[in-house]
Chain A
Amino acid sequence: MRYFLNRFLQLLLVFVIVTFTVLVVMRMGSDGPQALAIKLAGRPLKPEESQALIDQYSLDSNYVVQYLNWLKNLVFHFDLGYSPQANMPVADLLKPRVWTTILLGLYANFFGLLIAIPLAVHQAYRRDRMFDKVGSMATFIAVGIPGIVLGVFLKLAFVVHWEIFPSIGDKVYPWEDLHAHFMNFFLPALTLTIPIAAIYTRLLRADMVMTLQSDFITLASAKGVPPGRVVWKHGLRNSLFSLVTALGTQLGALLGSAILVESLFDLDGLGSQLVVSVLGRDLFTVQSFVAVIVLIVVVVNLMVDLSYALIDPRIRQARALG
């Protein structure tokens, strides 16, 4: 319990430092609060308008006060600020788009694991055979291929050559129209799935090869446990550690590729909106979007930490004692 509290405080500290730095980075480099207010609004302001903005976000104070003001609004009012360019609260800008990114992330992880686990188990079980060698080569290439390149190749094949999918994406959610959702989300999800599946496969294979050499596996086979059960139960469960860690560490990379994929396939999501806001110098929106993304990353990493105990009884016990 103390461990989790410790970890929680640590991640809270990380969240505060990061969001504060983001605020400073976004608001630096303007001459005085008036100029900053105009920049935040993205249009020329009347003096009383800019004064109102300055008062609302205490822009004339130092960054710490500005940050506390921003944090107060976020925590107590769930207020992410106001986007002057879209002319609506940032939260309203965020809400319709956030599901695109979340769905893409879930698809990528789900199908990534669905591909990775059988592949890695089979590779590790039949190590150094043909299947393993070919698989290792394929995953090696798939890990390294840049997101845009993979996306363009898939687009060339499926959209231009075979004409299966529409060339311009449209975000349709599964609860609206399942078929249209599939048509629009398949290629982006595939572009995200291939590298992540390859990474998971490589990690799990490496872990599994080590596990299958340990004594308890030999013991299990020796006492007559059937091979399938040895591999899938004894082997897999004890090899999941780095895979679960990767779920947390790969999230950042996944969100990064989601930005590219959403832009490439014209899916209106968190990532593509972030790019639009950055290019449009919409400072409030960028700041809040980054804060939301950091929050997601931090929370998922905390959950990954918690799940270690579920996988490995030894950790559960060690922590209960410590």
Chain B
Amino acid sequence: MTDVMTPDPTTTIDDQVDARFKKVRRRRIPKFGVMFGTVFLTTLVVLTVLADYLPFIRSPESKVYIDGRLQSNYKLGPGWDAWWGTDGNGFDVFAKCIYYARYTLFIGIASTILGLLLGGALGMLAGYFRGKTDRVISIFVDCLLAIPALVLAIMLVSRLDEIKAEIPFIGWMSRLWQIVFTLSILAIAPLARIVRAQTMALREREFVLASRSMGAGNMRILFREILPNLVPTMVTVAATGLGILIAAEGALAFLGLGIETSWGFMINANRARLEKAWWATIFPCMMLFLTVLSFNLIGDRLARRFDVREAAV
């Protein structure tokens, strides 16, 4: 408020216009953050998908031998023989980090999609029909928010093995799918809230009225008029949410409740030896951090692009 914009008297209008154009032109180049996020994730996906065929990535099941001697007990530090060192059993930390990205990314993406479907559907119903539907769904969402996400995840993951005996149709659930299911439940509440708010605003718009006056039913309005307008919001929230869910997956694995092929599990397994072999703990940490950061950076860019306030923080 103290800054008052005063045009510099020495420049002409043309100069100012030129300067503005330059500013616009410069924004064509994506910001460093998004660049970083995209490049990191692309590299990670390429490496993890092609890991079986790339010569410089060992198999995560093969132990590192040098001159016929097993490099166990954190013998190798980061270097040429094993880029990120070896862990307590003589496995290559780099290979493990790359291979485990498969599970992490799969869990993140699958649970985000599932959460989008469930949370999006609930949010749309609540925002569109309002009244009693909204009441019931809102209380359900409040209930989900009342339990801290990680507590809910811990509780569900630890019980699903026994619960699945009692409920039909979920007997096939492996550990991996149990985690996907649990994490998608965590994603429901925030998604439903945002989608509900957006739907409430959208249903008052003219194009919905126009569609209704032409005789469109509720389903047609929801799917043909409202849903397409929700896509930008959903994509934005999904990108940020992916980062959060991946962090949650790491946390579960860290606590010993997730899958064993996970960065979180590596961190927990090696953290007692942080003093002796920092590499076995720090590199999985870096992978987790950079992956989450990349998704956050992309989500932030999308939020600016589509002007989604709720996902900003």
Q: Once the chains bind, are A149 and B288 in contact (CB under 8 Å)? A: yes
Q: Once the chains bind, are B143 and A14 in contact (CB under 8 Å)? A: yes
Question: A148 with B148: in contact, given A21-B143, A206-B312, A274-B154 (CB under 8 Å)?
Answer: no
Q: Once the chains bind, are A29 and B155 in contact (CB under 8 Å)? A: no
Residues in B18-38 with C-beta less than 8 Å from chain A? none
Q: Once the chains bind, are B150 and A145 in contact (CB under 8 Å)? A: no
Q: For the complex, is B113 an interface residue (Cβ under 8 Å from A)?
A: no
| List of B residues within 8 angstroms of A140 by Cβ | 296, 300
Does more than half of chain B's interface fall in helix, strand or loop, or is it mixed?
helix
Question: A28 with B163: in contact, given A167-B275, A259-B150 (CB under 8 Å)?
Answer: yes
Q: For the complex, is A18 an interface residue (Cβ under 8 Å from B)?
A: yes
Q: Once the chains bind, are A18 and B146 in contact (CB under 8 Å)? A: yes
Residues in A139-185 with C-beta less than 8 Å from chain B? 140-141, 143-149, 152-153, 155-156, 159-160, 167
Chain B's interface size range is: 35 or more
In angstroms, Cα B160 to Cα A29, docked, is: 9
Contacts A156-B278, A221-B1, A252-B148 known; 13 new A-B pairs at CB < 8 A:
A11-B142, A28-B163, A144-B292, A149-B286, A152-B267, A152-B271, A160-B274, A218-B1, A256-B251, A259-B151, A260-B255, A275-B257, A290-B147
Q: Once the chains bind, are A278 and B158 in contact (CB under 8 Å)? A: yes
Q: For the complex, is B173 an interface residue (Cβ under 8 Å from A)?
A: no
Q: For the complex, is B13 an interface residue (Cβ under 8 Å from A)?
A: no
Selected contact of B148 from candidates A30, A153, A255, CB within 8 Å:
A255
| List of A residues within 8 angstroms of B292 by Cβ | 144-146
Q: Once the chains bind, are A253 and B159 in contact (CB under 8 Å)? A: no
Q: Once the chains bind, are A146 and B155 in contact (CB under 8 Å)? A: no
| List of A residues within 8 angstroms of B149 by Cβ | 252-253, 256
Q: For the complex, is B282 an interface residue (Cβ under 8 Å from A)?
A: yes
| List of B residues within 8 angstroms of A279 by Cβ | 158, 256-257
**Tally of chain A residues near chain B (CB < 8 A):** 63
Q: For the complex, is A15 an interface residue (Cβ under 8 Å from B)?
A: yes
Question: A256 with B151: in contact, given A14-B143, A29-B162, A145-B292 (CB under 8 Å)?
Answer: yes
Which B residues lie at the A interface, using CB under 8 A? Answer: 1-2, 139, 142-143, 145-151, 154-156, 158-159, 162-166, 243, 247, 250-251, 254-257, 264, 267, 271, 274-275, 278, 281-282, 285-286, 288-289, 292-293, 296, 300, 312-313
Smallest CB-CB separation from A129: which chain B residue? Answer: B3
In angstroms, Cα B151 to Cα A290, docked, is: 7
| List of A residues within 8 angstroms of B256 by Cβ | 275, 279
Q: For the complex, is A118 an interface residue (Cβ under 8 Å from B)?
A: no
Q: Once the chains bind, are B289 and A260 in contact (CB under 8 Å)? A: no
Smallest CB-CB separation from B162: which chain A residue? Answer: A29
Q: Interface centre among A153, A199, A203, A278, by most B CB within 10 Å?
A: A278
In angstroms, Cα B285 to Cα A255, docked, is: 21
Which A residues lie at the B interface, using CB under 8 A? Answer: 10-11, 13-15, 17-18, 21-22, 25-26, 28-30, 140-141, 143-149, 152-153, 155-156, 159-160, 167, 199, 202-203, 206, 212-213, 217-218, 221, 227, 249, 251-253, 255-257, 259-260, 263-264, 274-275, 278-279, 281, 286, 290, 293-294, 297-298, 301
| List of B residues within 8 angstroms of A274 by Cβ | 151, 154
B255 to chain A, nearest CB (A): 5
B201 to chain A, nearest CB (A): 19
Q: Once the chains bind, are B243 and A144 in contact (CB under 8 Å)? A: yes
| List of B residues within 8 angstroms of A293 by Cβ | 147-148, 151
Q: Interface centre among B142, B147, B300, by most A CB within 10 Å?
A: B147
| List of A residues within 8 angstroms of B148 by Cβ | 251-253, 255-256, 293, 297
Q: Interface centre among B154, B166, B274, by most A CB within 10 Å?
A: B154
Q: Interface centre among B264, B275, B286, B313, by most A CB within 10 Å?
A: B313
Q: Once the chains bind, are B275 and A286 in contact (CB under 8 Å)? A: no
Q: Once the chains bind, are A259 and B255 in contact (CB under 8 Å)? A: yes
A-B contact pairs, 12 of them (CB 8 A): A14-B142, A29-B165, A141-B293, A143-B313, A144-B243, A149-B286, A152-B274, A153-B282, A156-B281, A206-B313, A256-B150, A294-B147
In angstroms, Cα B149 to Cα A287, docked, is: 16
Q: Once the chains bind, are A146 and B278 in contact (CB under 8 Å)? A: no
| List of A residues within 8 angstroms of B142 by Cβ | 10-11, 14
